[in-house]
Copies of this chain bind each other. A is one copy, B any other.
């Protein structure tokens, strides 16, 4: 059982220690649902392994806070349960999910329980399957099943930003690049054609690729194109007739999905390219008055200036719905998905305090 009203670091570690790799979020979603149902001021709705809790105080504005429950796979050996390194303000919590993004989830859970009468109505969304293919995304499913639960005037994604404010996000596109061959017994390989050998050309182009940078609305977005998977081979004595390289292109929000698909197809000309998954980016949107108000209030607590978000996040989904959205959460985004993922405990309290100040603000309603 999660104790939402207790120590924030203990709550954070309990959320992390309930492993929830994409597709396996049920136990954590159950715990989140049970804890939120204990809060009388919240209406709680469950959709698959997504849990929504909201106030209905009749405020003029509604804010959506969204955070995903899932993580990428654990390391081998597993980097859970969490461990604390250092003491006091310098302490860091190590382990899978500490950065992406159970810090944001823990802060949201604590505030959802604490803020019985926020100055703005709040919809708290905890969703599944953010780290995998776009069609599995729990927030996307919620938009299809219950669009009313996603509606709002402004949205905050609790993705890691080192407790700073990050606007927009790069788009993401995955494609399979297929290299054909002709199968043969490997003892008489000259009668076939080795698809893995032929894939050297695909890897050569990837190794030589220089990613672009693009300035959008005053922020500079860095692109990237990476192989995230490769497979080929049937048996230990068969010359393989197919090798497939899966690439992931992270493209600046100034490009459309179509632009991005064309770029990848052109780069791998001569090979069969199949786009398997794509999601557009989002422009920073910090010129929106609500976003500007949020930025002023939050940065008054945290310090710093807005920056670009490199990773794709569901701010893009809110942008498509016409809801201005930003990323704000504890944890260094450069450590997301890494084996040494870790979060300074000081950032948990800082994010909680900044969000609490904004959501409790007298002049917000």
Q: A residues near B, CB below 8 A?
A: 22, 72-73, 100, 131-133, 170, 172, 174, 183-192, 194, 196-200, 203-204, 206-207, 211, 222, 224, 226-241, 243, 245-246, 248, 250, 277, 310-312, 333-334, 336-339
Contacts and interface: CB of A to CB of B under 8 A. Distances in A.
A132 B54 CA distance: 58
A190 B212 CA distance: 12
Contact of A248 (B22, B192, B237, B277): B237
Contacts of A73: 234-235
Nearest to A336: B185
Report copies per complex.
2
A291 to B, nearest CB: 21
Contacts of A190: 211, 222, 224
B246 A236 contact: yes
Contact of A187 (B200, B224, B245): B224
Contacts of A206: 194, 196-197, 200
Tell me the interface secondary structure of chain A in the complex: mixed
Contact of A337 (B238, B243, B336): B238
Given A22-B235, A196-B206, A226-B239, 16 more contacts: A132-B235, A172-B187, A184-B337, A185-B333, A185-B337, A186-B224, A186-B228, A186-B248, A187-B311, A188-B311, A228-B239, A229-B232, A229-B233, A229-B240, A237-B337, A238-B337
Contacts of A200: 200, 203-204, 206-207
Contact of A185 (B187, B241, B338): B338
A234 B22 CA distance: 13
B234 A72 contact: yes
A104 to B, nearest CB: 15
B196 A227 contact: yes
Given A132-B235, A229-B233, A245 B185 contact: no
A336 B207 contact: no
A338 B203 CA distance: 27
A125 to B, nearest CB: 21
Contact of A227 (B133, B191, B233, B248): B233
Nearest to A194: B226
Contacts of A311: 185, 187-188
Contacts of A248: 186, 236-237
